[in-house]
Structure 1
């Protein structure tokens, strides 16, 4: 059932996260990149990673027709499994992960919906499980699975990925160079938001 959702295509794909490779490219960023792209000077030429590249790699093209959310709503998904709705604004991802392991779902549809919320936040949006709270609107949106599947996820995830790539090394280049001088075996430990695995696939 999950494979039939908008992110189901990624379930059987094994993508390791190569931070040193991404860091290597980010050190070569051309600072005057486009608003909706990021460019690098690599092997004597400028190469660009654009939204079209991201959509081509992920397949998250926007659907030609927009699905309107159903006005009919079942009892709230969050309340059904996690209790008082008022705690949602402070519901951290690590808590969602802990509670998820203990949940006994009333039906398969609920299992897919809550899994989809977790997968969206961690795998696609790339939030930090220890620091970030769950976006409460996802629990409302996923109640109508067709509506959720037809949201413009390509644009949403691309923008977060692009922002992360452009700010990943802010004020860190000097620190990196100093660390390397002191330790030639220094291992980069940067983390990136968004779906930066698509960028790593596109690295020439």
Structure 2
């Protein structure tokens, strides 16, 4: 944990927020269009309220990196360590598979523990993939290269995913719920909120 805290995601361990699904839902019902595609706007008490990337940054503590290091990375070492695939071309494992393998593996050094924990944190917590969703093994390559990891544009990845989910989450859901409710008064509708929505 001490090593994890020294990474760029360390401050997120201390974010103590309770997610309010009902409040989030009521905001989404009041979404209005905005000319800027990089914000989401709502009509609250007859005022247009916007959620910007800077707002997201304040909560997450993530800020844009001044220098992005772009180079090829290899996911092979950590993928072999965790998943131990029999077929070298087999890269299809779910987030749950990686999580289970992580829990069972006896690591030989702390650096690898932190790297795999970071990969799981990115895939499951920050991107909020369903555990049945395929784990993106490219994440192993990024966390295994300290310079690429430190200078990766994580903020844009997480904010854009969160923003996109917020903008598309309700499409057609309200109308479908009203139709189903008319046919069955006890009909309940559900949808998944993904991305780092707790920052909103």
Q: TM-score range by the shorter chain?
A: 0.7 to 0.9
**Off by >6 Å, runs of 4+ in structure 1:** none
TM-score by length of 1: 0.85
Matches within 5 A, 1:56-75: 56-67=58-69
Q: Paired residue for 1:47, among 46, 49, 54? A: 49
Q: Cα distance 1:187–1:5, how it changes in 2: closer, same or farther (>3 A)?
A: farther
TM-score by length of 2: 0.86
Between the aligned partners of 1:153 and 1:67, the Cα distance in structure 2 is 12
Between the aligned partners of 2:69 and 2:142, the Cα distance in structure 1 is 12
- Residue 192 of structure 1: how far off its partner (Å): 1.7
2:136 maps to which residue? 135
1:114 maps to which residue? 116
Q: SS at the partner of 1:48?
A: strand
- Assess if the C-alpha contact under 8 Å between 2:31 and 2:40 holds in 1: yes
Q: Which runs of 5+ in 2 are unaligned?
A: none
- Assess if the C-alpha contact under 8 Å between 1:125 and 1:193 holds in 2: yes
Q: SS at the partner of 2:14?
A: coil
Between the aligned partners of 2:179 and 2:75, the Cα distance in structure 1 is 56
Between the aligned partners of 2:161 and 2:50, the Cα distance in structure 1 is 17
- Residue 12 of structure 1: how far off its partner (Å): 2.6
Q: Paired residue for 2:12, among 1, 10, 19? A: 10
- Assess if the C-alpha contact under 8 Å between 2:128 and 2:195 holds in 1: yes
Matches within 5 A, 1:70-109: 76-84=77-85, 85-88=88-91, 90-109=92-111
User: Aligned residue pairs: how many?
Assistant: 194
CA RMSD of aligned residues (A): 2.5
2:174 maps to which residue? 173
Q: Which runs of 5+ in 1 are unaligned?
A: 200-204
Between the aligned partners of 2:17 and 2:35, the Cα distance in structure 1 is 27
Alignment pair present for 1:154 and 2:155: yes
Alignment pair present for 1:191 and 2:200: no
Between the aligned partners of 1:75 and 1:94, the Cα distance in structure 2 is 19
Alignment pair present for 1:31 and 2:21: no
Of stretches 147-156 and 108-117 in structure 1, the one that deviates more from structure 2 is 147-156
Between the aligned partners of 1:62 and 1:46, the Cα distance in structure 2 is 26
- Residue 34 of structure 1: how far off its partner (Å): 2.4
